[in-house]
Chains A and B, each alone.
Chain A
Amino acid sequence: MKIKYLVLSVLLSLSLSACDRVAPEPSSQVVSIEDAYIRAMPSGQKVTALFMVMHNSSDIDRQFVSASSVASDKVELHEHKFVDGMMKMGQVKAIDLPKKSTAVLKPGGYHVMLIGLKKDLKVGEKVPVSFFFADGTMLDVQVPVSNKYLK
């Protein structure tokens, strides 16, 4: 009898202690993507850039690690560095999204590069893009093609 209570109380305290070790919410639920757009390019262009604002509303640092889209063969994350007087673009493994902060991917800085466009993208067209985070979660966004930068 006592053993049963002992076992029960051990189990109960175990489950109680597990309560404050709750798994953090998935990145896909706490990161929001705003103002995403893909730059419209001339016909026959094989690469273009996607820009957006990413906001991490959680208390934990997150990372944006990759993306994919049916519109292109490959998608990479890139940044620009001004090295030795030259604009140098380079692939990065991840873009940090520190807790409670906003990362802005804009021209001249970070961008998501779509490589090997399968067809010409028309202005206004909505392109499905999946954004992946370090914790394995994913966010799907319909990103419009914009030529606003030409206006």
Chain B
Amino acid sequence: MNKFLIPISILAVIGGLLIGSYLFSPKAPQPNIYVDPPGGDFTLKSDKGPVSLSDYEGKVVLLYFGYTYCPDVCPTALAQISSAFKVLTEDELAGVQGIFISIDPERDTTKKLATYAPFFHPKIIGVTGDKDNLAEIAKRYNVRYKKAEGATAADYLVDHTSFIFVLDKKGKISTFLPHAVPVDMAVETIRRLLAE
């Protein structure tokens, strides 16, 4: 028997163990990286003509995607935005804007949105656009929506993600608020961004 056989086999085993322990050891867990959606400027239609997010540069913008055939969640979100606006002083109010984007252009015309949005607060403007434009904007804001047909006399309902986006004065997404956000939390967020 080769006299090197035993030392070599021992080395091989040790080597194997070392390599194996490196390969099979549990890797340090990767931090759960949530990537903020890019957001960004957009141009949609309103009753008074085209509206771009950049029109409100310098203002704190509260943005919500929904549809008017939504009886609960959307009115709740708009009511919270409205209640927050009502707490602000006149000067503060001059520095904010609310935008309601309807992801249901089939039923929500710009004319309809012109009565819908201001009902909640005059500083909320209702806009919409064609399907492709809306889809592209929604993608940048991580907003998902899906038509849910059938099983209701309300024609169809639309499932949708439901966050109020708060954009800073530069039009960049600063934070998300849940649609049923407590009013003082919304006001605090707005004031913080107004002070920037």
Chain A positions within 8 Å of B, measured between CB atoms, are: 39, 41-49, 73-74, 76, 78, 80, 83-91, 107-108, 111, 113-116, 149-151
Question: What number of A-B contacts does a CB cutoff of 8 Å give?
Answer: 94
Indicate which residue in B119, B148, B154 contacts A47 across the interface (CB closer than 8 Å).
Answer: B154
Q: How many angstroms from the CA of A68 to the CA of B120 in the assembled complex?
A: 27
The residue on B at minimum CB distance from A46 is: B69
Judge if B26 is at the interface, Cβ distance under 8 Å. Answer: no
Chain B positions within 8 Å of A, measured between CB atoms, are: 68-73, 75-76, 79, 82-83, 112, 115-116, 118-120, 144-146, 148, 151-154, 157, 159-162, 179-180
Instruction: Decide if the interface of chain A is mainly helix, strand, loop or mixed.
Output: strand
Say yes or no: A87-B162 contact (C-beta < 8 A), given A41-B119, A149-B79: yes
Q: How far is the CB of A109 from the nearest CB of chain B, in Å?
A: 9
Q: Is the CB of B79 within 8 A of A42?
A: no
Indicate which residue in B82, B144, B161, B180 contacts A107 across the interface (CB closer than 8 Å).
Answer: B180
Q: How far is the CB of A144 from the nearest CB of chain B, in Å?
A: 17
**Contact sample, A vs B, 6 pairs, CB 8 Å cutoff:** A42-B118, A49-B75, A74-B153, A76-B153, A115-B154, A150-B120
- Leading 4 A-B pairs by shortest Cβ distance: A42-B119, A49-B71, A74-B153, A88-B159
Q: Is the CB of B83 within 8 A of A150?
A: yes
Q: How many angstroms from the CA of A108 to the CA of B90 in the assembled complex?
A: 31
| Inter-chain contacts of A86 with B (CB < 8 A) | 144-146, 159-162
The residue on B at minimum CB distance from A48 is: B71
Q: Is the CB of B115 within 8 A of A43?
A: yes
| Inter-chain contacts of A43 with B (CB < 8 A) | 115, 119
Q: How many angstroms from the CA of A87 to the CA of B148 in the assembled complex?
A: 11
Instruction: Decide if the interface of chain B is mainly helix, strand, loop or mixed.
Output: mixed
Q: How many angstroms from the CA of A83 to the CA of B148 in the assembled complex?
A: 13
Q: Is the CB of A44 within 8 A of B112?
A: yes
| Inter-chain contacts of A48 with B (CB < 8 A) | 71
| Inter-chain contacts of B160 with A (CB < 8 A) | 86-87
Q: Is the CB of B68 within 8 A of A108?
A: no
The residue on A at minimum CB distance from B157 is: A89
Say yes or no: A108-B159 contact (C-beta < 8 A), given A42-B115, A44-B112, A91-B151: no
Q: Is the CB of B119 within 8 A of A116?
A: no
| Inter-chain contacts of B180 with A (CB < 8 A) | 107-108
Q: How many angstroms from the CA of A116 to the CA of B153 in the assembled complex?
A: 9
Q: How far is the CB of A57 from the nearest CB of chain B, in Å?
A: 28
Q: How many angstroms from the CA of A89 to the CA of B67 in the assembled complex?
A: 13
Q: How many angstroms from the CA of A129 to the CA of B69 in the assembled complex?
A: 21
Q: Is the CB of A49 within 8 A of B72?
A: yes
Q: Is the CB of A113 within 8 A of B119?
A: no
Q: How far is the CB of A121 from the nearest CB of chain B, in Å?
A: 12
Q: Is the CB of B79 within 8 A of A80?
A: no
Q: Is the CB of B76 within 8 A of A149?
A: yes
The residue on B at minimum CB distance from A45 is: B68
